[in-house]
Amino acid sequence: MAHRILLFLGFIFSFFTDVFMATLILPALFTYPISIFLRGFGWIILGRRISGFYYITGIFVLIFGALLYLSVVYQPVRDSQLGRMFPLFWIIYSVFELLSYISLGRLSGLFYIACISILGIAMVAYMMISQTMPGYSQSEYPASEPMILALFATLSISSLAAAISSLKLRVDSLYMRW
């Protein structure tokens, strides 16, 4: 039961983070770490109950989410080589969450809708790769760009679907240790 509540609340905070990132960035600085903490521990508890893969997902969400947050808010990290890799931190834990959605889809079908996050992952990967290309300009990706708005729209849908799915998740009779 604890995993359902933690994941639900974590994904609700993730939804607010996505909405704030598309509109008012400052509140996202408060909702994002709460989301990471709740989701990370929700996945870990779920992983201890049914599969080590979800445990690993939780660890990755906590570690890479914390690194991402430090890359944004802490000047020495932001200015370091580590800070320049912040999109990669998000991509890593997001891929693990995506794989977890696919795995849990048979228990709660709305997790399949949460897989729309693959579009967001692809967009961030594209933007990250674009930065390495000759002639790249930082001004090519302002927050009002349709691609950025589409990114946060897909992530918002994914967060809501994962939140609802988390509440419906019934694993009491299922033990599938990998």
pLDDT of residue 133: 64
- Does the structure show a pLDDT above 90 at 59? yes
Percent over 90 (pLDDT), the chain: 47
Contact 10, 35 (CB under 8 A): yes
Of 55 and 132, which is predicted with more confidence?
A: 55
pTM of the model as a whole: 0.86
Query: pLDDT at position 178, please?
Result: 42
Q: What is the pLDDT of residues 18-44, one digit of tens each?
A: 999 888 788 989 999 999 999 999 999
Longest dimension (CA), the chain: 56
pLDDT at 130 > cutoff 50: yes
Residue carrying structure tokens 């290309």: 133
Name the token pair of 51.
């599969």
Per-residue pLDDT at 152 exceeds 50: yes
What is the average pLDDT score of the chain? 85
